[in-house]
Amino acid sequence: MIGFTVLLTFVATVAVLGALGFALSAGNKHVAGRLEKHWRPRQPVSAARAGEKQKEQLGRALGALGKLLPASPQGSSRTQRMMTRAGFRRPEAARALVGAKIALCASLLSLVYFTGLYRSSQASLLFAGLLGFFLPDLWLHRRIRARQQRIRVGLADTLDLLVICVEAGLGLDQAILRVSQELKIAHPDLSQELEWVNFEMRVGKARMDALRGLAARTGVDDIKSLVATLIQTDRFGTSVAQSLRVHGDTLRTKRRQRAEEQAAKTPVKMVPVLVFFIFPALFVVILGPAFINLSRQILPMLSK
């Protein structure tokens, strides 16, 4: 009976974690995934709708579970801002994250309790609870960093396209709309953000406020500097194309400096690997036979 209970708890925990990973997984694909999507036949509409329906049902279930834990308005707004930066725009996304914390905590605590691990160490229950509570936050921060990196990489192409569109005679609003359409395949995250800016301007929001919202939603420093440049250009009436071109050159310089910084950090990051993994193996291979010969010669002399 105990074995069956442990097995059932393990299966339930794996199912919950798999469902959370499937529901909250990134919708963006890498280059290979996008190419595979183009040459393979598309997924049937019914299957795609079924998958979206399952995600919505899981999100509603986690949102209902998240309502059990009260949260302050400041904490809710912060969580919603973090979910928006991760790519989840729905209002119930913050509650779904709280529900995921509750479900994961309950699953890990049940696993520790029914397997009997708490008998050997009482701190295992505390560790399981803390792990279940903070693991979704760690996943969320990792997803935010990955999305911000994708936006940062696609910003140079965005500036080039904006310069081309503005120099061709389009206004800034039309240029943003055109660039968002052109970047749907290459940089879908940045394309979605630009489409959202265009949507806000269509419903009557001022351009400067929409651009400030773009900087707040992404949290990328390069986007913030770009928004500041566009606001200053619009305020003083200078050339938009020239400002974008200068900002693009500055952005490329910063990207090169970041690459040089990462390259300079490589030797420092290799030191722990060399000390703890490579050097011990070399010492065993090089000095091992010498120690064996010394032990064979010295030990018989000491035993006499």
168 in a domain, yes or no?
Answer: yes
Domain end (from 120, 145, 170):
145
Each residue of 51-90: b (16+ CB within 10 Å) or e? eeeebeebbeebbebbeeeeeeeeeeeebbebbbbbbbee
Q: Comparing C-alpha atoms, which of 185, 152, 179 is closest to residue 31?
A: 185
- Residues 111, 141 within the same domain: yes
285 in a domain, yes or no?
Answer: no
Can you read off the two tokens belonging to residue 187? 């940089």
- Residues 37, 82 within the same domain: yes
- Residues 160, 141 within the same domain: no
Percentage of the chain lying above the pLDDT 90 cut:
17
- Residues 74, 158 within the same domain: no
In this predicted structure, what is the pLDDT of residue 45? 46
* Candidate ranges 27-31, 248-252, 296-300; pick with highest mean pLDDT: 248-252
Among 70-84, 132-146, 163-177, 196-210, the range scoring the smallest mean pLDDT is 70-84
- Where residue 112 falls among pLDDT bands split at 50, 70, 90? confident
Domain end (from 90, 119, 145):
145
299 in a domain, yes or no?
Answer: no
What mean pLDDT comes out for the span 7-31?
Answer: 56
199 in a domain, yes or no?
Answer: yes
53 in a domain, yes or no?
Answer: yes
Q: How many domains does the chain have?
A: 2
Residue 172 has pLDDT above 90, yes or no: no
Parent domain of 206: 151-256
pLDDT tens sequence across 230-277: 888 888 888 888 888 888 888 888 888 988 998 999 888 888 888 888
What mean pLDDT comes out for the span 287-299?
Answer: 82
In this predicted structure, what is the pLDDT of residue 122? 73
- Residues 116, 195 within the same domain: no
Q: Comparing C-alpha atoms, which of 131, 101, 110, 98 is closest to residue 12?
A: 110
- Residues 80, 182 within the same domain: no
Can you read off the two tokens belonging to residue 98? 């709280």
> How far apart, in whole angstroms, are the C-alpha atoms of residue 113 and residue 110?
5
- Residues 130, 41 within the same domain: yes
- Residues 44, 120 within the same domain: yes
- Residues 138, 189 within the same domain: no
> How far apart, in whole angstroms, are the C-alpha atoms of residue 247 and residue 241?
10
Residue 223 has pLDDT above 70, yes or no: yes
What is the CB neighbour count within 10 angstroms for residue 194? 24
- Residues 155, 141 within the same domain: no
The alpha-helical segments, DSSP class H, found in the chain are: 2-23, 31-39, 45-66, 73-86, 93-115, 117-120, 123-167, 172-182, 188-202, 207-218, 221-236, 240-273, 279-303
In this predicted structure, what is the pLDDT of residue 51? 62
